[in-house]
Amino acid sequence: MLAIIGGSGLNQFPELEIVGEQKVQTPYGDCSAPLTFARLRDLQLVFLPRHGQGHKLPPHQINYRANMWALKDVGVTRVLAVNAVGGINSTMGPGVFVVPHQIIDYTYGREQSYNFLTDGYINHIDFTHPYSQVMRQQLIASLLAANLRFQERGVYACTQGPRLETAAEVLRLRRDGCDLVGMTAMPEAALARELGLEYAALCLVVNWAAGLDSNELNMEDILKTLAAGMADIKKTIFIFANQ
């Protein structure tokens, strides 16, 4: 079963045929919101708004462990994460979609692991390639079919938030080889790997990262770009889910 984790801008998905909701109890506390079970044509899936109902949870306060545990508990095997990001790479400006292939984690203080023991040893997961290669190729095919502007590779810098970055921090991220900057890829991707879930991300660039544009960052402009991209995000998800 497929799960869609909605990020900023995708905290609702009224086009889905709702089957029911479930509040899942986990050993790690409450999820961001009850899980919504739905149908997308002939496919059953689960939808979870990462930031909660009404978009009230900032990135550093999301209970990532509860979210991923709950999805696994109800039978999810694949997770498609939707992320709004800032563009660092010159080919990744506002309105462009990116299917990231790598992550650099700059977060701190977040619960990063379930600390599973395997044969008495800590479970050191192989995280060489943090995103599912199969799902990435399916996303690329979906974006091609939707005739959208996109980049099929990108290094996602995950920062702590909730504030946006300084211009100097963005320059450091670019020196580190980052193409995009967001706040929610980690520990979400690592937790999915610990649970054996296939995981990939569909990122929409909603602004140039700080200092890379002559204009001041403006939340109103960011939200406009995000709103304009929602129809394309949903179109891509429809194609992806029914491959």
pLDDT tens digit sequence for 169-227: 999 999 999 999 999 999 999 999 999 999 999 999 999 998 887 666 677 777 788 87
Select from 42, 113, 107, 47 the least CA-distant residue to 76.
47
Give residue 70's pLDDT. 97
Question: Which residues participate in the annotated binding site?
Answer: 8, 50-51, 183-184, 207-209
Give residue 57's pLDDT. 92
- The whole-model pTM stands at 0.90
Residue spans per domain, the chain: 2-241
Whether the pLDDT of residue 138 is over 60: the answer is: yes
**CATH architecture, domain defined by 2-241:** 3-Layer(aba) Sandwich (3.40)
Give residue 108's pLDDT. 96
Mean pLDDT, residues 36-57: 86
Mean pLDDT, residues 5-32: 78
Q: Check residue 54 and give left, alpha or beta (phi > 0: left; psi -120 to 50: alpha).
A: left
Lowest-confidence region among 13-17, 136-140, 145-149? 13-17
Give residue 55's pLDDT. 80
pLDDT tens digit sequence for 71-126: 999 999 999 999 999 999 999 999 999 999 999 999 999 999 998 766 677 788 99
At residue 10 the predicted structure's pLDDT band, cuts being 50, 70 and 90, is: low
Question: Which residues participate in the annotated binding site for phosphate?
Answer: 8, 50-51, 184
> Average pLDDT over the chain, rounded to whole?
90
Lowest-confidence region among 23-27, 140-144, 184-188? 23-27
Q: Which residue has the tokens 């200092």?
A: 211
pLDDT tens digit sequence for 115-128: 876 667 778 899 99
Mean pLDDT, residues 52-65: 91
Question: Which residues participate in the annotated binding site for substrate?
Answer: 183, 207-209
At residue 44 the predicted structure's pLDDT band, cuts being 50, 70 and 90, is: confident
